[in-house]
């Protein structure tokens, strides 16, 4: 399968930065479009305000959400993305997945690539 539109959600942390680097490389290799969204739970202090350019050259809006995994899956659907690339803490096994990553994998209709 060839992916044409990749979504990479980020919260600004190291796992998300690694996933962004993977998503950028994959998009370049496939000639795919790349969309990024900065998603954090409501009430969490953020480092960014408004749209920001991430280190890998990906521009994305900031979204505050009560359920980040829902915002991620809805964004993928709304933008017609056919792959989501997300980061995780790098520990092995299902326990390694953060709660939002696990919920996204469990509930997304779009395939999810998890990067450690």
What does the pLDDT look like over 57-84, one tens digit per residue? 455 555 656 788 898 999 999 999 999 9
Taking alpha carbons only, the member of 111, 103, 78 closest to residue 3 is 111
**Using CA atoms, how far apart are residues 12 and 79, in angstroms rounded to an integer?**
21
Q: What's the confidence (pLDDT) of residue 13?
A: 84
* pTM, two decimal places: 0.79
Q: What's the confidence (pLDDT) of residue 93?
A: 53
**Using CA atoms, how far apart are residues 81 and 86, in angstroms rounded to an integer?**
13
CATH superfamily of the domain spanning 5-115: HUPs (3.40.50.620)
């Amino acid at each position: 399968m060839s992916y044409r539109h990749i979504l990479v959600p980020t919260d600004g942390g190291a796992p998300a930065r690694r996933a962004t680097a993977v998503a950028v490389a994959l998009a370049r290799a496939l000639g795919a479009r790349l969309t990024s969204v900065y998603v954090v739970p409501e009430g969490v202090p953020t480092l960014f305000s408004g749209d920001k350019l991430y280190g890998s050259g990906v521009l994305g809006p900031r979204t505050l959400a009560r359920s980040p995994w829902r915002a991620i899956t809805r964004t993928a659907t709304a933008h017609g993305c056919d792959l989501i690339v997300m980061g995780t803490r790098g520990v092995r096994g299902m326990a390694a997945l953060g709660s939002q990553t696990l919920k996204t994998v469990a509930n997304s209709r779009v395939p999810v690539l998890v990067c450690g």
